[in-house]
Amino acid sequence: MSLPLNESVVNIKPSGIRKFFDIVSEMKDAISLGVGEPDFDTPWHIRDEGIYSLERGKTFYTSNAGLKELRQEICNYQKRTQGINYDAMKEVLVTVGGSEAIDIGLRAMINPGDEVIIPQPAYVSYFPCAILAGAKPVIINLKAENQFRLTADELLNAVTDRTKVLILPFPNNPTGAIMERSDLEKIAQICIDKNICVMSDEIYSALTYKGEHVSIASIEGMKERTILINGFSKAYAMTGWRLGYACGPAEIIKQMTKIHQFAIMCAPTTSQYAAIEALKNGDNDVRLMRGAYNQRRRFLMNAFKEMNLECFEPYGAFYVFPCIKEFGMTSEEFATRFLEEEKVAAVPGSAFGDSGEGYLRISYAYSIENLKTAMERLSRFVNKLRSEKHNV
Amino acid sequence: MREELLSIIEKNSRIDIKELAVRLGKEEIDIVNELQKLEDEKVICGYHTLVNWEKTSIEKVTALIEVKVTPQRGQGFDRIASRIYNYPEVRDVYLISGGFDLLVTLEEKSLKDIAMFVSEKLSTLDSIISTGTHFILKKYKDHGTIIDEHVKDEREVITP
């Protein structure tokens, strides 16, 4: 019997991370530097609010777009951090994580054959979601010499008359790169001139270490052509709650809400109540976590400097992206040997696109003690590889 | 940097200067100077260690004692507080709002030692109206640290 299978789904390659995951899972005592989620627990007052909502019997569906109070708090948050005014009734949709917003946002905007520009290295979902939406993904390979920021020239070279959407994933996973206001202004001008919509994935917006995050939607003329995606996972350490949101032009949000309504119904009610508390009273938690991440970031950058390992200084998210090209191996070979010989798991940069080849993603969502041990091992490993190379 | 520096060493006073400098993005000399200043200003009052005595064979009994006093003209509670805190066996003395005035904590080898202190030394001081002694049965959390906590990383080892 031949089972019905959709060809575009079958043709999607499984995530490069998956393969690596299987090797790591076999190993008992490995240290991991491979996670893309905070090591902190969700702050207690936020968890408590989730529990309290259950005690009060808040166990029903919410409206499709999400609790009105939550949408209002999201608007307040965007107002106070970015100075953007969104209408809670028409321009906000609460989703099941930022991931759902990426998926349904593309589906709501794309017609078959439309081009979606994806700067890489980037989070693994954009490419398959674009394919599933019927788009033609157009990749921009970002460069270390630009600190993995997107430049105007790179964008102009990728734009055609079929370009509909630019995905803007900053602060970036896996590189830790950010885009500052001056970088964004150039990108914004091109999007306005060429009539391109931006999907700005700002899930790491609370975690920047050089000034405050700037959203492209806050630049004049951009709010009406930007789908801003954010959520609670990274800022408030709430990954398992599965809660994110999209803000954008009412017409697009309306279509996204339709897909969300039929495919999902609504985001988890308990998580929505907890998220209201996070937005109302969570600023200090974010500040403390950001401080801790920043200390670890500096610690890693110093460790790389001491072992003479090339790495541009990233100012966002909780990743560093050191260059391993000097060892003459692919990043997958490097990561595999590092795991086998030193029992430390880090994700090969190539899992995030071809331009990630030659780099390693190291997450610092770990305690300093954990990072210390890992850096001792990395230093030993790097020295070993250098002496091997020397002896050949 | 003051707040960050203090919150690091409040949790780990054994951390070395070099690591502090790296984590805070400062020069080592700046850290040394700042620590010296904090010590001089008595912002840093000591570098204590949090000990879970229950895991040792050494017996300790801790009591919290509520004390009601008559404040003294011109000196308020300060004079009576100093008469209490000068006993070396007294660990903490706080002036408290609410139903009583001073909260005194005491750590001794036995219940009897505490009883002796309260009945013979504390209660007999002038201007003490009454005392109420509470013994600590179990410590769950001390100085922001959950006692005997075993943290396990529950996350998947690799996630995108």
What pLDDT digit, counting tens, does each position of A136-193 carry? 999 999 999 999 999 999 999 999 999 999 999 999 999 999 999 999 999 999 999 9
Instruction: Judge if A12-42+284-384 and A59-281 fold alike in CATH terms.
Output: no
- Domain A59-281 adopts which CATH fold? Aspartate Aminotransferase; domain 2 (3.40.640)
Residue A298 to residue B23, Cβ atoms within 8 A: yes
Residue B8 to residue A295, Cβ atoms within 8 A: yes
| Residue A306 Rama label (left phi>0; alpha psi -120 to 50; beta) | alpha
Residue A15: how many CB atoms within 10 A of its CB?
16
SS (H, E, C) B55-124: HCCCCCEEEEEEEEECCECCCECHHHHHHHHCCCCEEEEEECCCCCCEEEEEEECCHHHHHHHHHHHHCC
What's the whole-number mean pLDDT along residues A329-344?
94
A203 CB near a chain B CB, below 8 Å? no
Q: Which stretch of DSSP H or E encloses residue B145?
A: strand B145-146
Residue A345 to residue B158, Cβ atoms within 8 A: yes
Tokens coding A34 = 């491979």
Tokens coding B54 = 């229950």
| Confidence tier at A23 by pLDDT (50, 70, 90) | confident
| Confidence tier at A327 by pLDDT (50, 70, 90) | very high
Residue A35 to residue B155, Cβ atoms within 8 A: yes
CB-based contact B50:B14 (threshold 8 Å): no
Which pLDDT belongs to residue A390?
80
Q: Which stretch of DSSP H or E encloses residue B133?
A: strand B128-135
Q: For chain A, first and last CA: distance in Å? A: 55
In 3D space, the residue among A229, A209, A276 whose CA is nearest the CA of residue A95 turns out to be A229
In 3D space, the residue among A61, A121, A143 whose CA is nearest the CA of residue A94 turns out to be A61
Phi, psi of B27 (to 5 degrees): -80, 150
A300 CB near a chain B CB, below 8 Å? no
Q: For chain B, first and last CA: distance in Å? A: 33
The ipTM, to two decimals, is 0.85
Q: Mutation target for B interface from A290, A361, A368, A375: give the one with most B CBs within 10 A.
A: A368
- Running DSSP on this structure, what letter comes out for residue A359? B
SS3 label, residue A85:
coil
Which pLDDT belongs to residue A365?
97
Q: Mutation target for B interface from A17, A18, A35, A369: give the one with most B CBs within 10 A.
A: A35
Residue B160 to residue A15, Cβ atoms within 8 A: yes
Tell me the β-bridge partners of A94.
Answer: A245
Task: Chunk chain B into consecutive blocks of 10 residues (it has 160) and report each block's average pLDDT, rounded to whole numbers.
Answer: 94 95 97 97 95 92 95 87 94 95 95 95 92 95 88 87
- What's the mean per-residue pLDDT of chain A? 96
Q: Residue A20: is its pLDDT beyond 80?
A: no
CB-based contact A244:A275 (threshold 8 Å): no
Chain B residues within 8 Å of chain A (Cβ atoms): 4, 8, 19, 22-25, 153, 155-160
Tokens coding A186 = 């150039």
DSSP strand E in chain A: where? 31-32, 92-95, 115-120, 136-141, 163-168, 197-201, 226-231, 244-247, 319-320, 344-345, 347-348, 360-363
Query: Within 13 Å, how many C-alpha atoms sit on residue B128's CB side?
Result: 22
Q: Which residue of B has its CA nearest to A352?
A: B160
Alpha carbons A120 and A117: distance in angstroms, whole number: 10
Residue A351: how many CB atoms within 10 A of its CB?
23
Peptide bond into B88 cis (omega under 30): no
How far off is chain A from B49, nearest CA to CA, in Å?
19
> Across the beta sheet with A244-247, what order do the strands follow?
A92-95, A244-247, A226-231, A197-201, A163-168, A115-120, A136-141
Q: Which residue of B has its CA nearest to A293?
A: B23
CB-based contact A69:A382 (threshold 8 Å): no
Residue B158 to residue A20, Cβ atoms within 8 A: yes
Q: Mutation target for B interface from A15, A19, A20, A21: give the one with most B CBs within 10 A.
A: A21
Chain A 340-369, residues with CB within 8 Å of chain B CB atoms? 345, 347, 351, 368
Q: Residue A18: is its pLDDT beyond 80?
A: no
Query: Hey, where are the domains in chain A?
Result: 12-42+284-384, 59-281
What's the whole-number mean pLDDT along residues A265-280?
98
Residue A299 to residue B8, Cβ atoms within 8 A: no
Tell me the β-bridge partners of B65.
Answer: B104, B133
Could you read off the pLDDT of A85-131 as tens digits, one per residue?
Answer: 999 999 999 999 999 999 999 999 999 999 999 999 999 999 999 99
What's the whole-number mean pLDDT along residues A33-62?
97
Which pLDDT belongs to residue B73?
81
What is the DSSP annotation of A86-140?
A: --TTTSEEEESHHHHHHHHHHHHH--TT-EEEEEES--TTHHHHHHHTT-EEEEE
What's the whole-number mean pLDDT along residues A354-381?
97
A12-42+284-384 homologous superfamily: Aspartate Aminotransferase, domain 1 (3.90.1150.10)
Task: Give me the residue label for tokens 């734009």.
Answer: A159
Query: Of A21, A39, A291, which is closest to B157 when you measure between CB atoms?
Result: A21
In 3D space, the residue among A176, A231, A175 whose CA is nearest the CA of residue A203 turns out to be A231
Which pLDDT belongs to residue A1?
80
SS3 label, residue A32:
strand
